[in-house]
Amino acid sequence: MNDKNKNNMGPKMPPNILYYLAVAILVTMLINSLLSFMNSSGTSKEIKYNEFIQMVQEGKIDTVEIQSDRLIGYPKAAEPTEPAPTQDPLASMFDQSKAAAADPKLDKFYTGYIYDEKLLETLNASGVAYSTPVNDRNPIVDLFLTWILPILLIYGASMILLNSLSKRMGGGKGGFMSFGQSNAKVYVEKKTGITFDDVAGQEEAKESLMEIVDFLHNPEKYMDIGAKQPKGALLVGPPGTGKTLLAKAVAGEANVAFFSLSGSDFVEMFVGVGASRVRDLFKQANQMAPCIIFIDEIDAIGKSRDGQIGGNDEREQTLNQLLSEMDGFDSSKGVVILAATNRPEILDRALLRPGRFDRRIIVERPDLKGREDILKVHVKKVKMSTKVDLKKIALATSGAAGADLANIVNEAALRAVRMSRMEVSQEDMMEAVEVIVAGKEKKDRIMTEKEKRIVAFHEVGHALASARQKNTQPVQKITIVPRTMGALGYVMQMPEEEHYLMTKDEMLDEITVNMAGRAAEEIVFSLQTTGAANDISNATKMARNMVALYGMSDKFGMMALSSIENQYLDGRQVSQVSSVTEADIDKAVNEIIDGCYKKAKGILEANRTELAEIAEFLIQKETITGEEFMEILAKYPNEAKPLF
C-alpha cells in the first residue's frame, strides 16, 4: 500500500472536539476554584471590617497584607503565662486544654477590602507592618500552568478513556477515533492467494464472474463497443456453497485490492455511524481503484423497508447511504461491488434494481461432478491412498455443500491419524461421511438384548422394503451401533447415479421405506416404539410436499396450496389456503402415509423368513455391508415373493 493510501486510512479528529474542549475548560475552572478555596480555608477566619480595625488598634495584629479584594491580618504570637503558685497544677492543665478547645489559635484573619483613606494612618499609628504582594511570575508561564496544561491533560485522559470504552463496546481497533470509518479489511492478490483454480463445482458462477475479471484487466475492449461494466453482482445460495471463496477468487484473478466486510460491520448503536462508514468505504475504494468491494451477509443492512414503522433508524440510514453511493460512483474506474446472501427474498427492491446489483449469480449446492471436483481440490493437501474412489464419496454425499465436503476430508484425515495410518483410506472417507450425517459412534451406550433385537428388525425392515421395490436406492450399509445424533441404528443407501427429478412412484416408494421400520416392529413384536419418530417425520414431510407443492394429489390436482419461504435456509412451507382446505390437506397426507404403511407391511409379511435371518445376522455382527445383505437375500427366489 502506498503512502498516499496510508495517509487516507489514518485516524481522524473526531467531529465533536469542541464539546470535549468545553468539558476540559469547565473541569479546569472547577479545579482552580477548588484550589483557591483550599488556599483560603484552613486556619483562617473571616471577620467584619470594624472588628479588623479594632484588633489593629488593640495591638492584636502583627502584620497586614493588602490585596485587591481583601485585607489579611496575621495576629501576634501569644505570650506564655505562668500558673499562680497556689493553683493546683492538674487544674491548671485542665483549664488550659479547655480554653484551647473552645478558642483554637488562628493563623490569620481576613476581611473584605473597603476604601478607607485613614487605613494607612491607623496601621502606622498602631505600629503594624503592612505590604502588598508582588506577582513576579511570567504571565505566559502562569497562563500555561494554570489553564493550558490542565486542559491538555484532561482532554488526553478523556480520549484514552473513551477509546478504551469504545473498544469494549465494539469499536474495533480504531476505537473511538474511527467510529465513522470503515472497518474494511484490505487484501491484495498475494494475501488472498485464491484463484478460480481453488474453486470447484461452481462453473456457471465462475463463468459470470470471469467476465468481471476480464473487464478489470481489459476495460478498453468493452468501452470500444459501448458496453458498461456491471456495478455489482449478488451471490445467492445456501450456506457453505462458497460465495465468499468466489469473491476472493475474483480479487485474486484480477490482482486488485479486495475490501471485505460483513453487513453487520455497518450497524452500530449510534445512528449515523453506519452511513459514515459507507461513505468512508467508497472514498477509500475510489482512491484505490481498480478494486473489489465484498459485503458478506448484506441482508443485515439491505432488509426490505416495507411494513416498517418509522423511518429514521440506523439500518435504514445505512441502506439509504449505500444506495446513494452505488448510484454515485463511476464503474469505469474499475470499482466492482460483490455481495452475498442466503436470504434474497427479504432484500429491499431498490437494492436489486438494474444499475445497482446488475447480476444475480446463483451459487447452488454442487451436483455429482461438482462434488467430485470439490473433493479433488480438498484432497490435494492430504495424503490419500491410491485406492480411494472419490466418485463413491460424491455419490454418498448427495445434497452436501462445499463446506460439508471439506469437513468430510478433514474428518477422514483425523480418523487416519487416530488409526495410526500414514494415509487416508476409503474406509476413513466413508466413516467421515457417516460422522457428518449421523454423528460419531456411541460406544458407551449399551442397549438391552430386547432393545437390540427391536432395533435390528426395525432397520432390516427398512432395508427389505428398499430391496423389494423398484424405485429405491441400493442398500450400502446396515448398522445397529448408536450414533451421537440420536440414532440407535440406520440404513445407509447410495444412489447409482445423480437424480434431479423424482416421480410420484419414487416418492411413494420412499415413504414406504420410511414406514417399513414401524411395520417390522408390529409384525414381529406386536408393539410400537419411539424409534420410528424420525421416519414418520420424513414420511409426513414428503407426503405433504406431494399434496401441497407438487400437485400429486387426486383430490386437489395441480393446485398450488403452499409456497416455499427461505428456500436457501430451512425451506419451510407457507400455507396459501384457508383453514378448511388445510384440514382436507391433512386428510390427503394421512391417506398417502396410511397406504404406504399397508404396502410396507405387505412386503415384510411376504418376506418374513428373510427378515428374521438378516436381523439375527445383524444382531451378531452389529454392522453389515450391502454386499452381505444382498448375499442373504439372493438365497431366496424373487418369484415366490410379491415385488411391489
DSSP states along 85-138: TTS-HHHHHHHHHHHHHHS---SEEEEE----TTHHHHHHHTT-EEE-----S-
Per-residue pLDDT reduced to its tens digit, 520-569:
999 999 999 998 999 999 999 999 999 999 989 888 888 888 877 777 77
Instruction: Tell which wins on pLDDT, 455 or 356.
Output: 455
Residue 56, pLDDT above cutoff 80: yes
Catalytic residue (choose from 411, 459, 510, 521): 459
Dig out the grid coordinates for 556 from the structure: 386437489
Query: What does the pLDDT read at residue 307?
Result: 60
Per-residue pLDDT reduced to its tens digit, 122-160:
888 888 887 877 666 667 766 776 677 777 777 777 777
Dig out the grid coordinates for 614 from the structure: 438378516
Query: What does the pLDDT read at residue 259?
Result: 83
Query: What does the pLDDT read at residue 55?
Result: 85
The DSSP line for 31-63 is: HHHHHHHHHH-SSEEE--HHHHHHHHHTT-EEE
Per-residue pLDDT reduced to its tens digit, 363-373:
888 888 889 99
Q: Going from the N-terminus, what domains does the chain have, and what CATH number goes with each? A: 3-31+139-178 (no CATH), 42-81+88-131 (3.30.720.210), 185-306+313-362 (3.40.50.300), 368-437 (1.10.8.60), 449-640 (1.20.58.760)
Residue 187, pLDDT above cutoff 60: no
- Binned at pLDDT 50, 70 and 90, residue 24 comes out as low
Residue 100, pLDDT above cutoff 50: no
Residue 613, pLDDT above cutoff 80: yes
DSSP single-letter state for residue 619:
H
Among this protein's residues, is 253 annotated catalytic? Answer: no
- In this prediction, residues 322-347 reach a mean pLDDT of 80
Per-residue pLDDT reduced to its tens digit, 242-287:
888 888 888 888 788 888 888 777 776 555 677 788 888 888 888 8
- In this prediction, residues 154-174 reach a mean pLDDT of 60
> Residue holding cell 488556599?
39
Instruction: Tell which wins on pLDDT, 496 or 209.
Output: 209
Residue 358, pLDDT above cutoff 60: yes
Mean confidence (pLDDT) of the chain: 78
Residue 15, pLDDT above cutoff 50: no
Whole-number percent of the chain with pLDDT over 70: 77
> Residue holding cell 469542541?
18
Query: What does the pLDDT read at residue 264?
Result: 75
- Cis before residue 344, ω within 30 degrees of 0? no
E-strand ranges in 420-576 read 475-479, 490-493, 562-565, 572-575
Per-residue pLDDT reduced to its tens digit, 513-533:
999 999 999 999 999 999 899
Query: What does the pLDDT read at residue 521?
Result: 94
Q: At what angle do helices 426-438 and 402-418 cross, to 10 degrees?
A: 120
Residue 431, pLDDT above cutoff 70: yes
